[in-house]
Every structure is written in C-alpha cells, then in structure tokens.
Structure 1
Amino acid sequence: MKKIVLLLLLFITFSSCNSTKDIVVTKSQVAQLKSKPVKPTSNPILPIDINGIELTPVDLKPLSLNIKSALPKTINTKANRIVDYAFAFDGVRYKRGGTTIDGMDCSGLVVTTFDSENISLPRVSRDMARTGNLIDLKQVSKGDLLFFATRKNSKTISHVGIVTTARDGFVEFIHASTNHGVIVSNMAEKYWYFAFVQARRVI
C-alpha cells in the first residue's frame, strides 16, 4: 500500500512540474521576430529629401496660387483698344465722307473706330452728339468723344474727336481735320478751346 501511495505522489509531482514549465525563447526565434516585415499603414507618410533638405509631413502643405495676382496686370480695356485703332489712321489725309486709309473725315474716323468694337454710332457728328451720356470736360477720359462747332458764326456741332489722353486738365484728342488729315490736337489750343461744345461718353 505504501508503494502505491508513493507512486501516486511521484506521478502528481511530475505532472504538476510539466504544467508550470517556463517558456524559453531562443535567439533564433528573436531574430525571426525582428526580421518579419512591418505592415505599412494605409497612408504612409515619408519624409522627402530635396537638395539635402528633409521636408517633414508638417512642411508638406497644399499650395494655393492666385494666378491673377502673380501675373503682371495688362491694360486691355475697350477704351484703349478704340484709341489704338484710331491711331492706325494717324496721318491719313482728309476726305469728305471717307472711312478708310485712303481718306477720312471726322465722323468717319469715329464711326469706323467704334465699329471695330461693335459700337454703332450715327454717321453725322451732330447726330452722334445725342448718343451716350453728357459729361463735363473735366471728367473726360480715354475713349470719350469731344464735339465742336467749327463753322463760322455757328454753334451747331460740326466736328468730333476721340480723347486719347486726359489727366489733370491736360486733354488730347485724335480727329480728322480738313487741313491736316488725321492728327492729335490739344484742348489747350485756342481754336479748339473756343470751338468746344460738349463731351459725351458712349462706352
């Protein structure tokens, strides 16, 4: 009986030792764990090296460019285009009823020039003086129309020109004069100052 009890005790002792045996991890198992690839995240963020400067994710901000402010401002208004077109006839001889480089009269120059910008005006200067808005001479700007009474002892409008320059009381205009053809004149000239009737804006 003592032998049976002793055998049972030995059996229980050995079986309990097996259950509490320590787990030993070898160096080879550690090496295997270290060599396992790390699964990347769905959106990996890596630093970028540009010319030796490392940009961290904080530096990588979306750029918003304002193209309009970056480009130089270009002046291309309708008034400027009208004046530029009128200057193409500078020096053209005067011709009553003319509307081409072969000859121009004052209203012909204005009608042809404004027509280049799809602005229709009456063919005769006195009818043209009823279009657009009446403005003071001090308020004129490039592209406005100046009307004159050039016939002796008459206040009826008979001539028209296009303002080319207007600043601080200095006003120049392009027109077709009977003596010199298409030229630029100044409102400071005595003849045009006293012949002036009104100014109008049609653009």
Structure 2
Amino acid sequence: MKRLIFIAFITLFTGSCKSSKQSKHSKKTASKIIIEPSAIDQTSTNNKTDSLDPSKINTATSKAETIISYAKQFEGVRYKWGGTTENGMDCSGLVFESFRTFNILLPRISRDMAKKGHKVPLNKVKNGDLLFFKTQNRRNTINHVGLVITSTNKIIKFIHATTRKGVIVSSLTENYWKTSFVEARRVL
C-alpha cells in the first residue's frame, strides 16, 4: 500500500507543463495515442471527475468538439501544478484529462505531447488540434500546451491553464502567446 501511495505521489508531481529533468538511469518507453472507435459514444460513469460529467456532452458532435466541450467545463478552475481535476489543473493536465476521458491516451507532459500526431501549419489548424509553446523557461523547451477551440478568419482561440488565471480561453493573436508559440499538432 505504501508503495502504491508513493508511486501515485511521484506521478502527480512529475507530470506538469514545465519541463523536468529526466533520470539518467530511467528506461525510455514509448507512449502511444490510443483511440478506441466507440470512445465518443461511451458514457461510462467511471470516467467522471466529481461534477464534471462526460455524458452531459452532446455525442452527436465530432470527436474534437466533444473533447472541446469537456475541456470547457474546466474554465475558471484554478491552476495547480500537476493537477487534473476541478480542484486544480495545469495545462498538460487539462489536455491529458480532456482526451483521456474519451479514451484517447496522450503523454502527461506537454513536451512529450509535442512528439505525438503530426505537425500542422497554422493556416490549416482545426478545432481539437494542440498548440505548443516555450514560455520563458531556462531549458528552452516546450513547456505549455493549449487545445484549439475555434479557428476562423485567422483567429485561433485555445483553452489552457495559466499560473495566474487558471483555465482560460486565449487567442493566438495575443502578443505573449504569438511570440511564445512553437508549433501546432494534430492527434485526432
């Protein structure tokens, strides 16, 4: 039991939006994106996060819109490093949980998420794509991720978690995000 608690504790504090040092002796394991064909039609109660309920999402919409609708339920949730619930959320936790709820498994850390799917030019970005940023970190690596919620008329809006405002919607036209932007990727 102590070992299980220790593993859960380590997992919680090693997965974040910020980059962390990797152990020299750790084995590298490949993570996969797993998409089950019926994932969007399922409304399993074991995927609920407290009062956030994936079964409340309109399943007649596309996978991307379903994931976006679920992510939007977290808007206004405070920032919590390593968080994945309505009690606190970090950027990669928001994306990870929004996809995981519909049986699409992504890595937990933003820089690892940036290795999945394929790169998409900004003029081809669609709802559900992921935007990656380098936000003034010492290692100059990807350390922030956002989920595209709208992409029309050259205006791209994305939902993400910030340390100051928690889970919010921002625009890629905002100077800070425009200058920190690295790439967009499609995993769906």
SS in 2 for 1:138: helix
> Which structure is higher in RCO with an 8 Å CA cutoff and minimum separation 6?
2
SS in 1 for 2:182: strand
Equivalent residue number for residue 105 of structure 2: 120
CA distance in 1, matches of 2:165, 2:100: 24
Matches within 5 A, 1:22-171: 76-152=61-137, 155-171=140-156
> Which residue identity lines up with residue 79 of structure 1 in the other structure?
A
1:137, distance to aligned residue in structure 2 (A): 1.1
Structure 1 runs of 4+ with >3 Å offset: 152-155
1:198, distance to aligned residue in structure 2 (A): 0.4
Q: Which has the larger radius of gyration?
A: 1
CA distance in 2, matches of 1:130, 1:154: 17
CA distance in 2, matches of 1:103, 1:175: 12
CA distance in 1, matches of 2:162, 2:176: 12
1:102, distance to aligned residue in structure 2 (A): 0.1
CA distance in 1, matches of 2:122, 2:60: 24
Output the aligned Cα RMSD. 1.4
Mind listing any 5+ residue stretches in structure 1 that lack a counterpart? 1-73
Could you tell me the percent identity over the aligned residues? Answer: 55
Question: Structure 2 length as normaliser, TM-score?
Answer: 0.67
* Cα shift readout 1:152-174 (whole Å, capped 9, x = no counterpart): 46531000000000012110000
> Aligned residues, how many?
130
1:151, distance to aligned residue in structure 2 (A): 2.2
SS in 2 for 1:111: helix
Mind listing any 5+ residue stretches in structure 2 that lack a counterpart? 1-58
Matches within 5 A, 1:8-27: none
CA distance in 1, matches of 2:154, 2:171: 11
Equivalent residue number for residue 46 of structure 1: none
* Cα shift readout 1:52-81 (whole Å, capped 9, x = no counterpart): xxxxxxxxxxxxxxxxxxxxxx96100000
1:117, distance to aligned residue in structure 2 (A): 1.5
SS in 1 for 2:170: strand
Q: Residues 168, 75 of structure 1: CA spacing in aligned structure 2 closer, same or farther, 3 A cutoff? A: farther
Equivalent residue number for residue 179 of structure 2: 194
